[in-house]
Amino acid sequence: MFKKILIANRGEIALRIIWACRELGVRTVAVHSEADADSLHVKFADEEVCIGPARATESYLNISAIISAAEITGAEAIHPGYGFLAESAHFAEVCHACNLKFIGPDPEVIRMMGDKARARAAMDAAHVATVPGSGLVDTEEEAESAAEKIGYPLLIKATAGGGGKGLRLVTSRQELRRFLPQVKAEAGAAFSSDAVYLEKYLVGTRHVEFQVFGDEHGNLVHMGERECSIQRRHQKLLEESPSPALDDVLRARMAAAALKAANAVGYANAGTVEFLLDKNKDFYFIEMNTRIQVEHPVTEGVTGIDLVKEQLQVAAGEKLSMKQSDIVMHGHAMECRVNAEDPVTFRPCPGRITAFHVPGGPGLRVDTAAHADCLVSPYYDSMIAKVISRGNNRAEAISRMRRALESFIIEGIKTTIPAQLRILTDPDFIAGNFDTGFMTRYQDKPATPPGEASDSDRTAVPAV
Amino acid sequence: MFKKILIANRGEIALRIIWACRELGVRTVAVHSEADADSLHVKFADEEVCIGPARATESYLNISAIISAAEITGAEAIHPGYGFLAESAHFAEVCHACNLKFIGPDPEVIRMMGDKARARAAMDAAHVATVPGSGLVDTEEEAESAAEKIGYPLLIKATAGGGGKGLRLVTSRQELRRFLPQVKAEAGAAFSSDAVYLEKYLVGTRHVEFQVFGDEHGNLVHMGERECSIQRRHQKLLEESPSPALDDVLRARMAAAALKAANAVGYANAGTVEFLLDKNKDFYFIEMNTRIQVEHPVTEGVTGIDLVKEQLQVAAGEKLSMKQSDIVMHGHAMECRVNAEDPVTFRPCPGRITAFHVPGGPGLRVDTAAHADCLVSPYYDSMIAKVISRGNNRAEAISRMRRALESFIIEGIKTTIPAQLRILTDPDFIAGNFDTGFMTRYQDKPATPPGEASDSDRTAVPAV
Amino acid sequence: MPLSLKEIHDLIERISRSDFSCFELDHDGTKLKLERRSDGAMQIVAPVGAAPAAVAVPVAVTAPGAAPVNPVPVQAAPAPAEDLHEVKSPIVGTFYRSPSPKADVFVETGSRIKAGQTLCIVEAMKLMNEIECDVDGEIVDILIANGQPVEYGEVLFRLRINAA
Amino acid sequence: MPLSLKEIHDLIERISRSDFSCFELDHDGTKLKLERRSDGAMQIVAPVGAAPAAVAVPVAVTAPGAAPVNPVPVQAAPAPAEDLHEVKSPIVGTFYRSPSPKADVFVETGSRIKAGQTLCIVEAMKLMNEIECDVDGEIVDILIANGQPVEYGEVLFRLRINAA
C-alpha cells in the first residue's frame, strides 16, 4: 500500500478519500486554492499545499502545480476524485511520467471513453448495443442521409460534448439543417473539436448504470446497478439501488453487457457503464465514466464494500478483495444531492451557512464538507452534502430519506431540499413509475431534451 | 399503528424515537423540563409540553405530569426510552390504568426482572444457569453459612441495587462480617429495601448480552449478542457485535438460554438478557433489562433491523416483522459512548459546546442531540453522542471507529474521546483478548469490583 | 462609521440564538434595538442609521420541522407592564374557569382578588386542582380559554397588585 | 469594565478563524494583542488586565488529526513593519537561492535590488523558474531556507522599498 497520496480535489469527495486513507493507514496531502484555505479537507489532511488562486483553472485544474505539490511532499500517488482532472487522460499521463501513480484506469482507456465516437466503435466491436446512430457527419448531405436511416426524432451530438452542451434534439429534416451548423459552432468553441454525430432519440427511457471494478491482474466484477433517472437538465438529483425497473433476469443481462464493455478495454479500477433502458427492456450503452462517481455511496449502501478503499488497494497493485460471488446486495439505498440552489429555479445560491445540523439515526449517512459558519464558495460546484439512506426495502429507504431531509437544518442559504422532498412524496416516484422525463412535471419547459447521460460530476478539462 | 405517541425521555434516545415515529407516520409529543426547552427533541417533535423544572424528579420522573401531558395532547401510547421511568413497573401500570399503551413489556415482567432475587428464582425454575449464590440473607449467621457453601471471593448484593450501588466484593469471613451491615444500610437508604444476598465472584469474565424481541402473539426471536466487557466502574464505554469470544456453537447455546429466559416470563417487546461468560465457556444469567438499551444500534448495525420501529409495531399489537430465520448478521458493528467527562478521571464536565462537527462517510452513524452552541446540562446524564461504526469485519470496524473519533470535533467541553481512542489502539483490545477487568489497566485502583452488569442506562426510580 | 448591513445581520443572528429579551446598541451612527416577544420571536424595533428596511422583519427562531409558532397578536398578549403579577400553572393539565360546566366562573377580568382565593382549576389525571392566588390584586388578563390544555409554568393570569 | 475571560475567549476564537495577522484591543482596562505567525498559528503576545494567565498559551488553529504546527521562532519571522514589501511565490515548488549548488546566492539580506533582478529559483516539474523582483529596494528578510518546498502565495522575501 502507498505510504502517502495526494488528493487533487476539494469538498466532500476530498474528505471521503481522506477517510479511506485513514482507515488504510495512508498519509494524505490536501491541495487547495486560496479560497479553500479553511476548508475541512485541508484541516483533516496530514499535509496541505496551497496551489493557486480561487479560479479552478489556476488551482484545481493546474496540473503543474498539483504535480509539484506531490513532488515537494513526497506523495506516491494522486487520487483525482470526480470532476476537475478525474477524466483527463493528459493528467493521468503526466502523473505516470512523473512516477506518480494515477488512481484510476489507464490513460489510454480514459481517452478512448472520453471520445464518444471511439467509445461507440469499441462497444460495437465488443457487441455491446449502442443507441442507433451514425458515424461522424460533416456536411449537410452526410447528415441527411444518415438521418434517413436512423429516423426522427434524433439528437445531434458533439463527440467531445458533456454537461448538456453540444447536444440538440431535432424532429425533422428542416430542424436538422438548421441546427447542424449551430451545434458544430458551439462544440468548436466549447471543446476545441467540432466533430458531431447523430443518435436516435429514445422516448420514455431510464438511466441505469452499472458499477464495475477491475484490478491490474485481469479480475473484473460488477456491483449491481444504480437508477439515476431522476434528473433535471442532465443533473442527477436522486439515485438509488436497486432500480425499480429491473428484475433478476434483466439485471443479469445488463450486468453481463457492462462486464463485456469493461473487458473490451481491459478496464482496471472503478468505472461506471451507463445505459439507457427503454420500455421494451432493451438497453443501449451510452458512455463509460472512468472514475469514482458522486453516487458511489448508493452502491456502498447495498454491498457493504468501501469503493474508495478498493480503489486505493487496486491502484497499489493488489488484487480485488472480493470475487463476483462474494458480492451480495442487501436492502435498498438512496442518495439525495443537497445543492446550494434555489429549489424552484435551481439557480446556485452561494453564501454563508449560519446553522448546520446533520440528521442521525439508523440507516443514514451524510457526506459533506460543509459546517456551521462556512462559506459556500461561488467558485465551485454547488453540491454541499449527500444524504444516503438505507432500508430493508425501497419503502423504508424512502421514509428514512424523507425524515432525514426534514430534519437536516441548513440556515443562511437556500438548498434543493424542498425539491427533493417533493420528489419523495410524488406518487409516481413512490410507485417506481418514472423515466428521465420525470422532472419536467416540475418545470415549465425543458431547455434541452430530457434523458440520458448526466455529466454533472464531469468538469470540462481545458487543454493544459 | 398509533396515530400519536408521547416520548417520556430527553436527549439522543428521544430523538431516536422521533426518527422511528416519522418513518412510521406516527405523530410525536415531546415532554421537557424547563432546562430543556431549547433541546432538539423539543424542536423535532410535532408537539411539546413543559412538564416541570430542571430536576428530573420533578419533570422526567414526574409520572403525574407525564400522564397529564399525554392526556391533554391525546397521545395513545408512551415510549419511555432508557433510564428515567423505563423500568418502573409502577409507571407502566399507571399508563395502562389511564388507557395509555406503555411501549415495553408487561408491568409484572418489569417488576419481576427488577427484583434480583425473584428474577433468579424464575431463571432457576426455567433451568437457566445463574451465578452460584444464596437466597436472601438477613443475619450474620445466615450469611456466613451461605458463604461457606459458595466459597470466597463473593459479592454482597442488594436485591434492589443498580449502578454499582448496593454491591461489595468480600474475600474473607472477616470482610463479610464487616461489610454486611454496611451494604444493608446503604441499600436501605438508596432503594428503600435492605434485602441482600450473596453471589460467587467470578474472575476473568466477559459481559455478553443477547437482544431478544417478543410480540403479543407468542412469537419470540433473538438478534444475536453484544459484547460489553469494556466497562469502567460498571459504565459501559464500548460495545460490539459479534463478540470476539463466541463461536457459532457457543452463540447457539447462549441464544437458546436467552430465549428460554425470555420465554419463561412470556416476554413481549425488546429486552436484553445479560450473561457473564467465563474462560471455560460457561455462562450465567445475571439480569434481564426490560427496555431498549443504549447500545441497541450495535444490533441494528449487524442485522439491519430498526429496533425502535419494531418496538412501536409490536406495542401496537402487530406481529414481529421477521422470523428467526430471517435474521442474518452481516459484518461487525461497534459503538463508542462519547461522554462529557474528563478522559482521565471520568468526572462529568458539563458546559457549552462551542464547535460540533460529526464525522461522516461510509459505515458510520452518530446518534446525538448535541449541536454547536448547546449547553450540556449538569442535571442529566453526561452522554452527548453515540458513534457507531460498521465494517465487513472487526478490523474494519475498529479502523473506521478510530478515524471517526479522530475527526469528531467537539470544542468547549472535555469528552471521553481520548480514552476511547486509547482503547481502540490497545493491542489486547485489537486482538479481542479482554474481560471486564480490561479498564483497570488505565486506572490506579478500582473502587468497586470490576465485572458484570453495567447499569449506566438504568436510573434509580424513586417511589412516586 | 455606522455598521454595515452584514454586521447588522450578524448581530441579529447572534442575538436570535441567544436568550436575551432585549438588545440595544448605539454605535457611531447606528442605533439598533431588538426585543423578544413572549412567543420567542425577535422583533426589530428600531433599526436606524445604516440598517436598511429589508431587515425589519420578525426573525422566527425555529428549526425546520418544528411546530409552527403561533404569533400571538400584540393586543391579546401585551407585554406585562412592570407592575403586573403573573400566576403560572404549577402542573400540566386542563384549565377550567369554573368548578363545574354550569357553575359561574371563579374570576373575571376586573375581579378584585384576595390572596388564597381560587382563580381556576387545572385538571390532571382526573384530579381537580384548585389554583389559588398568591397576592391581593385585580385581574387584568386571563390568558387561557376554558377547557384548554396548559403546560408547567404557563402564565394563566396577570394581576395588578394592590397598592400597599 | 474590563472584558470577561469568556469575552476574551470569544475574541480569540473569532480572530483565530479570521485571516488577520494582527489584532490589538485597548478596552477599559483590558489590553489584548494577537499576532499571527507565518505558519498560521496565533500567538497571544500581551494579555493584560482581566485576562488570566491561563489563556496565555499559543492557540494552534488546527483540527484534531491535522499535521502538527512547527512553531517558527518570533525572531525568524517578525511581523512586517508597515513599509515592507513582500515577494510571494507565484508557483508551488522547491526554493533555491542560487542558480546551481556551487554558484553564489542571488541575493543576501541587505542586498540592494533593482526591479527585474532575479531573487531566487523555484523548481517545479524539473523546470527552474527564476523569480524576479517587482520593486527597487533592500532585502530585509529571506523567509525560506535553500532547498525547502514553497506553496503558492508563500512569502519568500521582504524588502524595504527605496524612498522615492
Tell me whether residues B50 and C151 touch, CB distance under 8 A. yes
Most confident of the ranges A178-182, B222-226, B456-460: B222-226
Categorize the per-residue pLDDT at C75 as very low, low, confident or very high, splitting at 50, 70 and 90.
Answer: very low
- What does the domain layout of chain D look like in residue ranges? 1-76, 84-161
Q: Which chains touch A (3 or more CB pairs under 8 A)?
A: B, C, D
pLDDT score recorded for residue D34? 57
Residue of A68, A353, A373 best to disrupt the D interface, most CBs of D under 10 A:
A68
Residue B160 CA to residue B455 CA, distance in Å, equals: 12
Nearest chain D CA: its distance from A264 CA (Å): 35
For chain A, say whether C13 makes contact (Cβ under 8 Å): yes
Give the gap in angstroms from C-alpha C152 to the nearest C-alpha of chain B: 5
Instruction: Output A161 or B63, whichever has higher pLDDT.
Output: B63
For the ranges A186-190, A367-371, B204-208, the lowest mean pLDDT is seen at A186-190
pLDDT of the residue at C54: 32
Q: Comparing C1 with A293, which gets the higher pLDDT?
A: A293
Q: How many CB atoms lie within 10 A of CB C21?
A: 13
Residue closest to A398 by CA, chosen among A433, A363, A371: A363
Residue A151 has pLDDT above 50, yes or no: yes
Judge contact between D91 and D159, C-beta under 8 A: no
CA-nearest residue to A406 within chain C is C65
pLDDT tens string A227-251: 999 998 888 999 999 999 999 999 9
Count of Cβ atoms closer than 10 Å to residue B318 Cβ: 14
Residue C132, φ and ψ in degrees, nearest 5: -100, 155
Q: What are the chain A neighbours of C13 within 8 Å (beta carbons)? A: 354
Identify the pLDDT of residue B325. 97
Nearest to B55 by CA among B34, B70, B86: B34
Alpha-carbon distance C71 to C62, whole Å? 12
Contact at CB, B43 and C66, closer than 8 angstroms? yes
Q: Which residue of D has its CA nearest to A64?
A: D125
Global pTM reads 0.81
Amino acid A420: pLDDT: 96
First to last CA, chain C: 50
Sign of CA dihedral B84, B89, B94, B98: positive
- A177-186, A342-351, B254-263 — most confident range: B254-263
Asked whether the beta carbons of residue B406 and residue D13 sit closer than 8 angstroms, the reply is no
pLDDT band for position B186 (50/70/90)? confident
Q: Which residues of C touch B43 (CB under 8 A)?
A: 62-63, 65-66
Residues C28 and C55: beta-carbon distance below 8 Å? no
- At the top level of CATH, which class does the domain A206-443 belong to? alpha beta
| Least confident span in A26-35, B222-231, C46-55 | C46-55
Can you tell me the mean pLDDT for B407-420? 96
Q: Where in chain A is the domain with CATH 3.30.1490.20?
A: 132-200
Catalytic residues of B: 291
A441 is catalytic: no
What is the radius of gyration, based on Cα positions, of chain C? 20
- Looking at residues B199-210, what average pLDDT do you find? 92
Structure confidence at residue B301 (pLDDT): 97
- The answer to whether residue C30 scores a pLDDT higher than 60 is no
Residue A441: what pLDDT?
A: 81
Per-residue DSSP letters for A299-353? HHHHH---HHHHHHHHHTTPPPS--GGG----SEEEEEEEESB-TTT--B--EE-
CATH, domain range B132-200:
3.30.1490.20
Chains D and C touch (3+ CB pairs under 8 A): no
Element (H, E) at B182: helix B173-191
Closest residue of chain A to B17, computed from CA coordinates: A361
Residues ≥6 apart with Cβ < 8 Å to A23: A306, A309, B396, B399, B400, B402, B403
Q: Please state, in angstroms and rounded to a whole number, the distance separating the CA atoms of residues D135 and B138.
A: 96
Answer yes or no: are the C-beta atoms of B452 and B207 closer than 8 Å. Answer: yes
Instruction: State the pLDDT confidence band at B21, using cuts at 50, 70 and 90.
Output: very high
Across C112-139, average pLDDT: 94
Residues of D with CB below 8 A from B406's CB? 64-65
**Yes or no, beta carbons of D65 and B407 under 8 Å apart:** yes
A411-449, pLDDT tens digit by residue? 999 999 999 999 999 999 999 999 999 998 876 544 444
Query: What is the side-by-side order of every strand in the sheet holding B235-241?
Result: B283-289, B269-277, B206-214, B220-232, B235-241, B332-339, B383-391, B364-368
Q: Give the residue ranges of chain D where pLDDT is below 70.
A: 1-82, 163-164
Is residue A239 within 8 Å of residue A383, measured between CB atoms?
Answer: no
From the CB of residue A341, how many other CB atoms can be counted at a distance below 10 Å?
Answer: 23
DSSP A103: S
Asked if pLDDT for residue C85 goes beyond 70, the answer is yes
Give the closest of B24, B304, B368 to A392, CB-based: B304
- Helices vs strands, H then E, count in chain D: 1, 11
Q: Which residues on chain D are in Cβ contact (under 8 Å) with B409?
A: 63-64
Between positions 77 and 106 of C, the ones with CB within 8 A of B are 91-94
**Reading across the β-sheet that carries A165-170, which strands appear in turn?**
A133-137, A196-200, A154-162, A165-170
Query: Exposure string (b/e) for B134-169, b if CB count within 10 Å is 16 or more?
Result: beebeeeeebeebbeebeeebbbbbbbbbbbbbbbb
Cα separation, D16 vs D31, in Å, equals 17
In 3D, which of B413, B273, B249, B271 has the Cα closest to residue B342?
B413
Q: Tell me the C-alpha distance between A230 and A235, whole Å.
A: 8
Residues of B with CB under 8 A from a CB of D: 354, 406-407, 409
Q: Is the pLDDT of residue B16 over 60?
A: yes
Residue A192 confidence class, pLDDT cut points 50, 70, 90: confident
CATH topology of domain B4-103: Rossmann fold (3.40.50)
C-alpha cell at B425: 489502539
Res. B462: pLDDT tops 60: no
Selecting among A168, A226, A251, A291, the annotated active-site residue is A291
Distance from CA of B10 to the nearest CA of D (A): 29
Cell numbers representing residue B329 in the block: 448478521
Residues 6+ apart with CB under 8 A from C53: none
Give the gap in angstroms from C-alpha D131 to the nearest C-alpha of chain A: 16
Q: What percent of chain B has pLDDT over 70?
A: 95
CATH for the stretch D84-161 = 2.40.50.100
For A288, the 3-state DSSP assignment is strand
